[in-house]
Structure 1
Amino acid sequence: MAERIIYQSDGLADDPYRVGGELAGWQEGLARYAVGNSRLAFAMSAAFAGPLLLPAEAESGGFHFRGGSSIGKTTALQVAGSIWGGRDFPRTWRATSNGLESVALMHCDTLLLLDEMGQCDSREVGQVAYMLANGQGKTRAGRSGEARRAARWRTLFLSTGEIGLADKIAEDGRGRRAAAGQEVRIVDIPADAGAGMGIFETLHGFPSADAFARHLKAAAGEHFGHASHAYLDRLTRDFDGIAPVVSGFQNEFVAENCPPNADGQVSRVVARFALVAAGGEMATAFGVLPWQPGEATKAAAKCFRDWLDTRGGIEPAEEREALSAVRRFIELHGTSRFEPMGSFAPTDNIGAPIDTRIQNRAGFRRRDDEGSIEYIVLPEVWRGEVCAGLDAVMVAKTLAGRGMLKPGSGGKLQNNQRVPGFPSAIRCYVVTSGILGDDAREAAHA
């Protein structure tokens, strides 16, 4: 009797890279409608940028279309997915980190699509973001106990969700914040293009955004996979000569779109947008995308500007988070946990001071010589609460550099202050009303 042998594979058995319909049908029924729609054109360009990671020596990373439900986010993924495969090419975030590791490996040098970040466990999403962008999985033991080789990949990925990475991490309920490195690895792009039609800016004659989206989804299910074959056929004819071409596209994009004196984090992100623009422009030059030259660049530039506007500036993310943390604490506790002193101290009808009991005191508040409010924060509260999860010294330096923290003698960040309840002067952090914005002075005089 013949011996029965069962093969047990270590990987997934399904193949997402399928082909259906025709390239001409895809160009006519799908690709041409991305013209004038920055989110669609960007998503399609990203699909062609994956194979450029190696010649460009670029790092992996992702883009996240964030916005409300039913505005077309999933449609954008299906349109991009039609370049490489059928309806099932997009995946979902509803998976473990181990499962997504295997999926990422399958999408090496192509495009990984992950729909609805809200389905991912908030306790894992930050680690998954690092893993996908770093291009390396966990090191594990083999069947006999030896260390197995960790999975490695290069990929760009597009994601969707009603909330962004930072909000998803905060859902954990343990006061966790998204690290700057995580937010650089997955870049939030507002899914709403601002034209009142969700992700769309032009409907190309369709009666409604819904009708347009339904057409795109149907076309993506009918014609798929051919575009990547045609693109790779042209790309690999002179693969060694691709690097300088991609570099030229990237340098031009960065020069035209990266603001002067931008932080290194912004520079890293704009380089990834530039790679997407290069992918779309090369697919156009190869005749795969039926667009005019410059369409992919215009879409990438629009998405980059929208990301930069949402980010709030070109300074490091840590500095923005530092300002936000201090402002948030004072907005929440400016009256309830800061004991009034000086002209703020309450008195009775004959001017005698009234003893004020502050529960869980964080510090003191008073008026400065110009009549604006100052918040004197006790040192342990500063380190343990105001700057929780952040570098307390970095936060103080950030505020001092913007004139929102009064330094002590010799430029020290802490300032010796005599405050009620302490027998001698103590070192505190003196925060000015500038932390609350332009209207803080008027509010202080109200």
Structure 2
Amino acid sequence: MRQEDRKSSETTHSTIDTGNTMPKAGDSNVPQKLNAAPKNTRNTKLSMSNMPQKYGTSTHPRAESSVTSILLRGRRPSSSKIAPEKQNLDHKKLSHSPSNSNNSDTKAFQPYASGLDNSGRRYLAVSTGAKEPLVFALEDIATRGIQSLNRLGAGMLTRASQNSFIAGCEEVSKQKPTFKVISAAGLDAGAEHFVFGSDIVKRKGAAAAYVSLDSRVPSRLTQQFKVFGTLEGWQQIAERARGNQIFLFLLSLGFVGPVNALMGHVNSSYMLYGRAGSGKTALSSIVSSAYGWSDATSGATRLGFGLSLNRTVNALEHALASRRHTFAFLDETALQGGKDLRNTAASIKAMIYKFEDGISKQRLTEVDGPLNFQVPVLLTSNHSVRELSAHLPQPFERQDYDRMIDIGVPDRPSGVFDTLHGFENLGALICHLSNIAAENHGVAGRRFVKWLLDRRAANHEELAQKVETYETQFITNLQKDKRLRGTEGFDRVIRSFARVFTAGTLARHAGVLPLTHSEIGTAVLSCCVNYLQRQAEPSAALQRPHSPLLALKQFIGEEASKLPMLTPDLSLAEVTKIGAFSGASGEVLLTLTKFDALVGGSREGKRLRRDLERAGAIGCTRSGKGATRKSVRHLVGAHKQPMDLIQVKCDRLKALAD
């Protein structure tokens, strides 16, 4: 496909009414005062005569996209209430501002209309000479607004020209509002519009509106709501999901966000865990393509529509706000704690309730209200929730597990797939699916949301009844499953799985998922049963020790007799891979990496080695500078390569108190 064809496809949504329209500066529907030049007693009025000749016609490849994304944002998420003194703008017919190319009378970079969001916040539309105006929150005009307009060629460099522009904005802001603004991603308060980045999908017959997202939401993330290809093209992904239980489950999970938003349900979080290289990240990114794809210029296409967990808490909240009511895939939990699993586990535990609440913490430095980022979250990890819990002084409790549901990937060559559909290996199928997602993305999510909004508008009670029926049907089938001994105490988890089944079934009725009712139900039921079976295992077998010393004792007590001997024929690579050996005198030899992994991380390992040295429970080596190295050097391999190993004296270790 040619590059110019791709660009055109990304910016054209012929099948969905976005409703992004704006009053013309000369429109008869706009009060006449808006068409008049703003009053100014000083001879510094911003006009065509003192402006650059080519403003509004910038051809820089990123000028319009980057600046528009900066300006089409407010600072505060929309509220569900409209101030009583503000009028209802739903009846206003909106249209585009005129282009400067065919109308010499149009003044570029002039404010000409005002609007309101649901919270009563005031916005201004500024003509630029392009087809679309720029929309600013009123309080941003004097700072970010002028700076951004100057990037487009406004040339407001002197204090006089800036004051003249601000005076015009002040005059227009007093006029009657003529357009509606939505300032938060996802479903709006009236359930008539759904915002995807800078686009709007609206129900049939809904009034037009304009998007101006909260300025804290990163524009580079909202730009990932790209539309390219066709629904039929994307459905090839779903065809390859047949026979793959985890794949089918994740496809259904991808459509939970809009349904929960319409029904007012609380979102759950999920963790896909398994060994490295099992296809977790790749499959999650493929599923996320229902809503968009990352910009190829950003170098982040590996995650598709996903997000990296390599962020601070504040940055994570802002990133999730861009995915509100859709689907948030967060890659690699290890990025939250590095090699120390204790830090990773603590971070994940703190995130569990943050994801559930979906509301950012109100900070003293923020004038605006808290951000809303209510969205179903999928994380990927090499460790299960229970494995992470074992590294915490205060392990996870029942309510924690219920809010972070982990889905295990079997340890097998095919990884996340039960069947490879004739492909040679896991990598070949992943490559095939990724290519489909790269050429077909963003269509499925919009089509599903449009169907939901229209169905709700036609008969809200009927849609709510269908949702309840599907949830009840899933729970009934689960209770009949003979693989389970009982489901008492897991009501919250079961309800979460039931909502995944419901979302997948609704996506099937919307014509988005080309799957049968039985295929969706079997896949979600299988994942739910597997989860409940793991949770029902004896607590003694699942609960790992909480202290590093106890963890080391348990490993040596259970595994010492099974460990291989450290022999001269083993290469350095083999010793590193195995990690644990039995010594000639009954001691246990561990690589530094293996030791740290057993006790919960490098920090805990360093502390424990210091304690074991004092107790004489590990072998030490005196260095030439008088220092003590808490390891013993061995020569391994045919080339006698030196390698430091932790030499644990088992008899001394057993004598230590826990």
Q: TM-score range by the shorter chain?
A: 0.5 to 0.7
Q: What is the 5 A alignment of 1:12-411?
A: 12-14=218-220, 15=222, 16-28=224-236, 30-87=237-294, 88-121=304-337, 122=344, 123-142=346-365, 148-168=368-388, 170-171=390-391, 175-192=393-410, 196-239=413-456, 240=460, 241-258=462-479, 261-264=486-489, 266-313=490-537, 320=539, 324=543
Deviation at 1:136, TM superposition (A): 2.0
**Alpha-carbon displacement from aligned partner over 1:59-102 (angstroms, at most 9, x marks no partner):** 11111111001111012211211111114410122112211111
- Kindly tell me: are residues 324 and 212 of structure 1, through their superposed partners in 2, closer, same or farther at Cα, counting changes over 3 Å? closer
The amino acid that maps onto 1:13 is S
- Kindly tell me: are residues 17 and 330 of structure 1, through their superposed partners in 2, closer, same or farther at Cα, counting changes over 3 Å? closer
Q: Secondary structure at the match of 2:372?
A: coil
More helix per residue:
1
Q: Is the 8 A contact 1:273 1:304 kept in 2?
A: yes
| Same amino acid, percent of matched pairs | 24
Deviation at 1:50, TM superposition (A): 1.1
Deviation at 1:308, TM superposition (A): 1.6
Q: Is the 8 A contact 1:40 1:79 kept in 2?
A: no
Q: Is the 8 A contact 2:276 2:382 kept in 1?
A: yes
Q: Is the 8 A contact 1:39 1:76 kept in 2?
A: no
Q: Is the 8 A contact 1:195 1:201 kept in 2?
A: no
CA RMSD between the two structures = 2.9
Aligned residues: 321
Deviation at 1:48, TM superposition (A): 1.0
| Distance across 2 between alignment mates of 1:67 and 1:323 | 17
Q: Residue 10 of structure 1 aligns with which residue?
A: 216
| Distance across 2 between alignment mates of 1:64 and 1:330 | 25
The amino acid that maps onto 2:268 is G
| Distance across 2 between alignment mates of 1:129 and 1:78 | 21
| Distance across 2 between alignment mates of 1:290 and 1:322 | 41
Q: Residue 368 of structure 1 aligns with which residue?
A: none
TM-score (normalizing by structure 1): 0.66
TM-score (normalizing by structure 2): 0.45
- Kindly tell me: are residues 33 and 130 of structure 1, through their superposed partners in 2, closer, same or farther at Cα, counting changes over 3 Å? same
Deviation at 1:186, TM superposition (A): 1.0
- Structure 1: where are the runs of 5+ without partners? 314-318, 337-446
Q: Secondary structure at the match of 1:294?
A: helix
The amino acid that maps onto 2:401 is E
The amino acid that maps onto 1:21 is G
Runs of at least 4 residues off by over 4 Å: 1-4, 258-261, 325-333
- Structure 2: where are the runs of 5+ without partners? 1-43, 47-140, 148-214, 295-303, 338-343, 558-658
- Kindly tell me: are residues 196 and 268 of structure 1, through their superposed partners in 2, closer, same or farther at Cα, counting changes over 3 Å? same
| Distance across 2 between alignment mates of 1:38 and 1:80 | 14
| Distance across 2 between alignment mates of 1:323 and 1:68 | 19
| Distance across 2 between alignment mates of 1:326 and 1:168 | 12
Q: Relative contact order: is structure 1 or structure 2 higher (C-alpha 8 Å, sep ≥ 6)? A: 1
The amino acid that maps onto 1:210 is G
Deviation at 1:169, TM superposition (A): 5.3
Of the structure 1 ranges 52-61 and 68-77, higher mean CA displacement relative to structure 2 is found in 52-61
| Distance across 2 between alignment mates of 1:165 and 1:330 | 17
